Chains A and B, each alone.
Chain A
C-alpha cells in the first residue's frame, strides 16, 4: 500500500490525547465520574468489581457535543474548540466539566443514576460489589474504534493495572462495549489479569429468580445491542429476565444476532447519518405496537433517543431503569 502524509481530523487527536492523558475521552475528572456512587459505600477492593468505565456518565456530555456537531462541520475550529476543553483548562484554569455543562447536560442526572440503580440491583441480588471510583479508568474502546491501537496497547496496561489493584476475580461491566474490550480485545494486547468478565445482564440473569416482579401490564419491545448480541452472544438472557419479572415482550422485525445498529458509532463523524439510522431503528421498534423499548447499552440508549421525534410518545428505558422499578414499588 502506498503511504502518504496524513492530516487527521482534530477530533481524532483530541479524543486520543484526552484518553491517553486524562483516562477518558472528554477529560472529565474521576471525582465527577464517580459522584453517582455517593451513599453506596462500596469498598475499593473485593472479589467482584463493578466497572462503569465512566461510559454512562460521559454520554450526556457527548450528546451535548453531538447536538452542536450536527450544525458544526467536524473539520471546523469550533468543533476543535469544543473538544479541547481540557486544553483550555490547562491554559486558563477553567473547569472542563463546566465548559461541557454550559453547552447542554440536561440528561446528566438520568445517565449518572443508571450506575447507582444497577449497583443497587446487583447488591440486592446478593453480590458483594467493590468499586474503585478514584482509580477506575475508561476501557479505551474509542482508541480501538478510531484505530489508535499503538496507544491502546500502552493504555491497556494502565487499565489492567487499575483492575489488578482491586484484587477482583470477576468484573461486572455495565456497558457491553467495555465487556467486549476486556473479553475480546485486551487478551490480544496485554497481559490481562485473570478475571472473569461479565455483563450486568449475565449477573442478573444468574439470579433472576430473586428479582422483584414488575407491575407493567403492556408488552415492551427489546432492542438488542450489536455488541451484546453479536460479539458477546447475549440475547436470550434478556428475554429470560423479563419473563422472570412477569413482563411480556415483543420482538422487532430485526432482533438478536440480526439486530439493527442504533447508529451510535457514527455519532462523532457523521451525526446526521447516525440520526437517520436511529430513526429507522426507532421505526422498527415502534412498528411492533409497543410504546416502550428496553435497551442494554449506554450508546444505544443515547443514539436511539436522538431518533425519536418530538411529538412521538415512544419511550426508551435502559433495562437497568426498568428493573429498578421493582425496587421502587
Chain B
C-alpha cells in the first residue's frame, strides 16, 4: 500500500482542473447543458407538480430500504430465482468481475448498456481482457469507447465532445467521411450496432431500481439501446448495486418516476421492466425459455464498499442517490470543469462515493477538497443528500487518521 502525498496529488490534479476550466469545448457544452437542464426541469415540474411530494415519499422508501438492505437482498435473490433467473451477490469488485467473466466466458460478442456500476468495476476492460469483443451501445459511451476517454457526466457521458470532434472520430473508425451532422452521426452508429445486437452472445445492463418482492429490475432509457441489449442476445446479465433495492414493485415505480423527472424527463422514451428469462407456453402450455428474448437471465448484486457506506452514520444517506445527475448541473466547479472534477463518480456526491467504493478517502482526497461546500446541490437533490456535511466528515477522517 503506497503512502499518500496530498501535495503532489493536488498539484497534478489542480493543473488538470485548471486546464479543463479553460477548455472552450467544455465551457460551451456545459453552459448549454446547464441552461437546458434548468429550463426543462422547470417545465417538467410544472407539468407534473406532484413530483416533489413523491420525492419525499421516495426518500422514506430509500431510508427504509437501506435500513433493511440485507433482508431485501435475500428476498430479491429468492424472487429472481423463482422467476427462473439466477441471482448472485458479489462482495467486491474482484468477485463481481469473476462472476461476470465466468458467465460470459471468452471469445464472445457482448453488447452493453450504460451503467455507472459498470464504470466503477471497469467491466468492459475486464471482459476485453478475457478475450471478448465488447460494444458500448449508449451513443455517448460508444463515442468515448472509440475516443478511449471516460464519461464526463453520469447521464450525458460525452457531454464534452462537440459534433465536429464526433465526426472526426467516426470518420476514422468507419473509414468513410462522416459529416459533423448529428442526425448522420446517430444514423451511422445505429446501422453499425444493429448488427451487433442480433449477433451478440451476451447483453449486459445495469438497473435503476429493483423490487425485492417480485424480483423485477427497472431500467430507464431514451435511446432504445437497452431494450435491444437486454432483449436480443440469448443471455442477459444485469449488474446492480445493492443500494438499488426497494421492498415492492410499486415502490420501484415511485423511485423510477422521481429518478427520470429529476433527470429532466417528463417521461423517458422507454422504461424496461425485466423479471426473468423470455418464455412461452403457446405450444401445449409447456413453458419453454428463450422465445424471442434471452434464455438466460442473471442478476449480480454488487456491494463493493456500499455496506461500509451504510455503516457510516453521516454518509449512509449518500446511498439514496438516484443518479439523476441534477446536482452536477448546479455545482459551480462542475460547471467549469465537467468530469475532470471526479473519477468514475463526479463532483461532490462523487467524492463521497469515491471515498467508499473506489479506494477510500485517500483516493478521494483531491475531490473532497474541490467541493466548495456551497450546498446548492442539496437544493436540487430530490433525496436532499447533505453532501457538504458528508464532505466535511470525510475531510476530517482524512486528516485525522
How long is the Cα–Cα vector from A7 to B365 in the complex, in angstroms?
A: 12
Contact (Cβ within 8 A) B400 A272: no
B336 at the interface (CB under 8 A from A): yes
Taking A6-B4, A260-B376 as contacts, is the C-beta distance between A149 and B361 under 8 angstroms? no
Interface of chain B, helix or strand or loop or mixed? helix
B187 at the interface (CB under 8 A from A): no
Interface string of A45-84 (1 = CB under 8 A from B): 0000000000000000000000000000111000000000
Contact (Cβ within 8 A) B333 A273: yes
How long is the Cα–Cα vector from A159 to B19 in the complex, in angstroms?
A: 41
Instruction: Find chain B residues with CB under 8 A from A7 CB.
Output: 3-7
Instruction: Find chain A residues with CB under 8 A from B1 CB.
Output: 2, 4
Whole-angstrom distance from the CB of B8 to the nearest CB of chain A?
7
How long is the Cα–Cα vector from A4 to B3 in the complex, in angstroms?
A: 5
Instruction: Find chain B residues with CB under 8 A from A150 CB.
Output: 396, 400
How long is the Cα–Cα vector from A280 to B336 in the complex, in angstroms?
A: 9
Contact (Cβ within 8 A) A1 B337: no
Contact among B18, B332, B335, B360 with A272 in the assembled complex (CB-CB below 8 Å): B18
B11 at the interface (CB under 8 A from A): yes
Instruction: Find chain B residues with CB under 8 A from A144 CB.
Output: 392
Contact (Cβ within 8 A) A8 B376: no
How long is the Cα–Cα vector from A4 to B1 in the complex, in angstroms?
A: 7
Interface string of B364-401 (1 = CB under 8 A from A): 00000110111110110000000000001011111111
B129 at the interface (CB under 8 A from A): no
How long is the Cα–Cα vector from A273 to B372 in the complex, in angstroms?
A: 11
B148 at the interface (CB under 8 A from A): no
A120 at the interface (CB under 8 A from B): no
* Centre residue among B308, B362, B374 by max chain A CB count within 10 A: B374
How long is the Cα–Cα vector from A21 to B318 in the complex, in angstroms?
A: 36
Contact (Cβ within 8 A) A1 B360: yes
Contact (Cβ within 8 A) A258 B21: no
A294 at the interface (CB under 8 A from B): no
How long is the Cα–Cα vector from A147 to B365 in the complex, in angstroms?
A: 11
How long is the Cα–Cα vector from A272 to B397 in the complex, in angstroms?
A: 27
Whole-angstrom distance from the CB of B346 to the nearest CB of chain A?
15
Contact (Cβ within 8 A) A265 B372: yes
Taking A257-B379, A260-B332 as contacts, is the C-beta distance between A149 and B400 under 8 angstroms? yes
Taking A75-B11, A147-B392 as contacts, is the C-beta distance between A8 and B6 under 8 angstroms? yes
Contact (Cβ within 8 A) A277 B333: yes
A266 at the interface (CB under 8 A from B): yes
B356 at the interface (CB under 8 A from A): yes
How many chain B residues touch the partner (CB < 8 A)?
44
Which range contains the number of A residues in contact with the other chain? Answer: 35 or more
Contact (Cβ within 8 A) A6 B3: yes
How long is the Cα–Cα vector from A146 to B365 in the complex, in angstroms?
A: 11
Contact (Cβ within 8 A) A273 B359: no
How long is the Cα–Cα vector from A226 to B18 in the complex, in angstroms?
A: 24
Contact (Cβ within 8 A) B10 A273: no
Interface string of B1-37 (1 = CB under 8 A from A): 1111111101100100110010000000000000000
B347 at the interface (CB under 8 A from A): no
Taking A75-B10, A147-B392, A261-B374 as contacts, is the C-beta distance between A2 and B332 under 8 angstroms? no
Interface string of B241-284 (1 = CB under 8 A from A): 00000000000000000000000000000000000000000000
Instruction: Find chain A residues with CB under 8 A from B379 CB.
Output: 230, 257-258
A270 at the interface (CB under 8 A from B): yes
Contact (Cβ within 8 A) B374 A4: no
Taking A2-B1, A6-B362, A8-B7 as contacts, is the C-beta distance between A231 and B332 under 8 angstroms? no
Instruction: Find chain A residues with CB under 8 A from B335 CB.
Output: 280
How long is the Cα–Cα vector from A2 to B17 in the complex, in angstroms?
A: 26
B208 at the interface (CB under 8 A from A): no
Contact (Cβ within 8 A) B372 A266: yes
Which residues in window 215-244 of A have CB below 8 A to B?
A: 226, 230-231
Instruction: Find chain A residues with CB under 8 A from B396 CB.
Output: 147-150
Contact (Cβ within 8 A) B337 A146: no
Taking A2-B359, A269-B14 as contacts, is the C-beta distance between A8 and B399 under 8 angstroms? yes
A322 at the interface (CB under 8 A from B): no
Contact (Cβ within 8 A) B376 A259: yes
Contact (Cβ within 8 A) A4 B10: no
B355 at the interface (CB under 8 A from A): yes
How long is the Cα–Cα vector from A111 to B221 in the complex, in angstroms?
A: 53
Contact (Cβ within 8 A) A6 B6: yes
* Centre residue among B332, B355, B401 by max chain A CB count within 10 A: B332
Instruction: Find chain A residues with CB under 8 A from B398 CB.
Output: 6, 147
Which residues in window 324-339 of B have CB below 8 A to A?
A: 332-333, 335-337
Whole-angstrom distance from the CB of B74 to the nearest CB of chain A?
26
Q: Can you give 6 A-B contacts (C-beta < 8 A)?
A: A1-B356, A8-B399, A146-B399, A149-B396, A226-B375, A270-B17
> Told that A149-B396, A269-B10 touch, could you supply 6 new A-B pairs with CB distance under 8 A?
A1-B361, A8-B399, A10-B7, A74-B7, A226-B372, A273-B17
